Amino acid sequence: MSGELARVWRPDWPCAVRATLGQHRRGGGDPTMRVEPTGRVWRGTRTPEGPATLLVEPRAAVGEVHARAWGPGAGWALDQLPDLLGHSDDWSGFEPRHPVLADARRRHPHARLGRSGLVMEALVPTIIEQKVTGQEAFAGFRMLVHRFGERAPGPGADRRLWVQPAPDVLRAIPSWEWLRLHIDPARSRTIVTAARVAGSLERLSQVSVEEADRRLRSLPGLGVWTSAEVRQHAFGDPDAVSFGDYHVAKDVGWALTGTPFDDAQLEEFLEPWRPQRGRVPALVAMAGLHRPRRGPRMAPRTHLPGGSVAVRRPRRLG
């Protein structure tokens, strides 16, 4: 089905559409998402039934969310809408245990973790973000989508909205093309390897998050950090913590104890919040708290002769 489909959904809480969908955005220039000043959000996505354009419009005054979708995956995208906006996220049982966390939760009482249900959609940009600066990662993702993706169906094309490349397309990209995208061989090999088993990866939504974590990390090039990022986006896993991130452990430690943590210290500190450990760094981020940024900046790697990227600290370590 390629015509327009529509849905009106009434959540039982004040749903922050823009903020929740923003969890899936890869930088301000993400070609698969467009945010209008009115608060409407356009999303280009590849569903199990094919590509789709999804338009989500909050109607806060009447407590509704209006959505329209186009393309072969339109029906799937509309069916998934409540989960994408956090309907299945359950904060019950989470105790802030710290004044900073309690205050952040009080200021953001309706924050929800959305889940897309799409593993490859989360995995490809996450792999690109491994061990490089955020600016370089977002630029590489944009180039990949523009070079090998496809225009989103229906009115999405008129809004310059794109859909990520399909797994069979990713598998066929030659090595020199990856280098032109400033994606080094280690990361491109990981993406191609994942694309070869994309069908199995998409079925991870049918197993426990613990088993999904194990299977993700069984693939070469996928570690703890990558698995956590994918589980957050695809499954809305509240226990997923991005250990190995350049900033997370340091910022949580600084915000909650006054002393930056390393990963081992963060893991020990978060243990009382299991199975919702991921909410602690999320609340720290919502509060806008991070340690002072000092020290020399690190230049990202370049993969082409004469290539250059603006110098910024790396956001991810692996």
- Torsion of the alpha carbons at 303, 307, 312 and 316, rounded to the nearest 10: -20
pLDDT tens digits for the chain (318 residues)?
Answer: 458 999 999 999 999 999 999 999 999 999 999 999 999 999 999 999 999 999 999 999 999 999 999 999 999 999 999 999 999 999 999 999 999 999 999 999 999 999 999 999 999 999 999 989 989 999 999 999 999 999 999 999 999 999 999 999 999 999 999 999 999 999 999 999 999 999 999 999 999 999 999 999 999 999 999 999 999 999 999 999 999 998 999 999 999 999 999 999 999 999 999 999 999 999 999 999 888 876 544 455 544 443 433 333 445 544
C-alpha 237/C-alpha 230 separation (Å) is 9
Region for 301 from its dihedrals, namely left if φ exceeds 0, alpha if ψ lies in -120 to 50, beta otherwise: beta
Degrees, nearest 5: CA angle 104-84-246: 55
C-alpha 248/C-alpha 117 separation (Å) is 25
C-alpha 281/C-alpha 241 separation (Å) is 8
- Residue 194 in contact with residue 219, Cβ under 8 Å? yes
Number of Cβ atoms within 10 Å of the Cβ of 262:
11
Structural domains of the chain sorted by starting position, each given as residue range(s) with its CATH number in brackets? 5-96 (3.30.310.20), 119-286 (1.10.340.30)
Query: Whole-model pTM?
Result: 0.91
Number of Cβ atoms within 10 Å of the Cβ of 23:
18
